[in-house]
Amino acid sequence: MLAARETILIRISGPDQTGITTAAMGILASAGAAVQDVEQMVIRGRLTLEIVVDVPSGRDVLKDMLLLGWERGLDVDFDVVEQAPVPSLPSLIVSVIGPELAPGDLEAVTAAVAKANGNIERIRRLAKTPVWCYELEVHGGDLDQMRTQLIDRAAESPRFDVSIQRSGLSRRAQRLVVLDVDSTLIQNEMIDLLADQAGVGAQCAAITEAAMRGELDFAESLRERVSLLAGQPVEIIDRAYEQLRLTDGAPTFIATLKRLGFSVAIVSGGFTSFTDRLRDELGLDHSHANTLEQRRGVLTGELDGPIVDRAAKATILRELAAREGIEPEQVIAVGDGANDLDMLAAAGLGVAFCAKRVVRDAADATVSSPHLDAVLFLLGLRREELDQDGLTTTGDPR
């Protein structure tokens, strides 16, 4: 017979069957037990159900639980645990993403968590296509130390990416995603597409790459590249747009966000001739970019209006957040180049997507897989929850 107010952890495991939880709760209800905590998980048809209960004096529910296990072919065991509730510790979410995740990869991640004094309370597999993703819920530990440990382990094994973010309201309150366009939403660089149509592709490509590495001032390099287009007919814009290709997974990424109630914005150092059409065709909420000056159907080689540079991207993000009635901490920003650094820093979660090293080192999270929908796993979504029917799944936005 159990002593008064004894607290018991009941663990039930075995083949999953309909009605097991109902039967267990019925036994506890009949005994007048108080449930303090409960967790249930099913993996490959195998159930694990754990219940922490306070059992009243004189009521022996263990015998009935053992009978339930015998009738259903389940294993049932018990542990006496502390009556005092376990103190609530800060909760962190560690995401691990890679083309495949071997036991050694998970060993490296879990060792990094342990070294920062974190305790892993739950591990969930979110996806195994187009990439593998595991999400670890970690209690306790030092956030900064854990981030350093995780980044070091990922650097030693470039097979996977890791990110760490706080759980709770801050994560669930995210409502706006701000995307870079060149080499993020699309596989191309807008200026390079235009330069190819103008026959100056080689000169332009060299300037573009140097600018994205942060070796050149963005505004100066942009003006230099745009000047190469002087005298070209505006029809090259349409021809260039026909060569534009969405990043793999972009349609799924956008459709899922919209279904979840997110607003989606694109903020680009490219050109409104492209971004406004992308906004309209993909059903996005906001679009900001540079404007190519035109006169009498010809490109002048100049820009009309202020340049959307690194600082401007961050300013636009804050303005969009204010327009949406949210705080910048509720914004997710995704980008790949040095021009995105301030925007990523201004957001609650800054994601480096297939990014340059300087961006990966500064971002909150990295995704090296060339599938934009893999970013959704950082929100805790499972692959099965992604909307794959809302838009075309090809790389062509039309």
Local structure of 310: helix, strand or coil: helix
Distance CA 310, CA 268 (A): 10
Catalytic residue among 182, 196, 248, 342: 182
Handedness of CA 202, 208, 213, 217 (dihedral sign): positive
The string of DSSP codes covering 209-276 is HHHHTTSS-HHHHHHHHHHTTTT-BTHHHHHHHHT--BPTTHHHHHHHHHHTT-EEEEEEEEEHHHHH
Angle at CA 289, nearest 5°, toward 275 and 278? 10
User: Please, are residues 240 and 190 in contact by the beta-carbon 8 Å criterion?
Assistant: yes
Mark whether 276 is an active-site residue: no
Instruction: Tell me which residue of 337, 338, 333 sits closest to 364, measured CA to CA.
Output: 333
User: Please, are residues 397 and 282 in contact by the beta-carbon 8 Å criterion?
Assistant: yes
Catalytic residue among 161, 180, 309, 387: 180
User: Please, are residues 190 and 182 in contact by the beta-carbon 8 Å criterion?
Assistant: yes
- Separation of first and last alpha carbons in the chain: 71
User: Please, are residues 14 and 75 in contact by the beta-carbon 8 Å criterion?
Assistant: yes
Instruction: Tell me which residue of 303, 282, 277 sits closest to 291, measured CA to CA.
Output: 303
Show Cβ contacts of residue 295 under 8 Å, excluding neighbours closer than 6 positions.
Answer: none
CB atoms within 10 A of CB 103: 7
H helices of the chain, in order, are 20-31, 62-72, 103-115, 143-156, 169-172, 190-198, 201-212, 218-227, 235-242, 250-259, 272-282, 310-324, 341-346, 357-362
Q: Supply φ then ψ for residue 275, to 5 degrees.
A: -70, -35
Mark whether 180 is an active-site residue: yes
DSSP state of 118: -
Token pair recorded at residue 218 = 């963005």
Active site (catalytic) residues: 180, 182
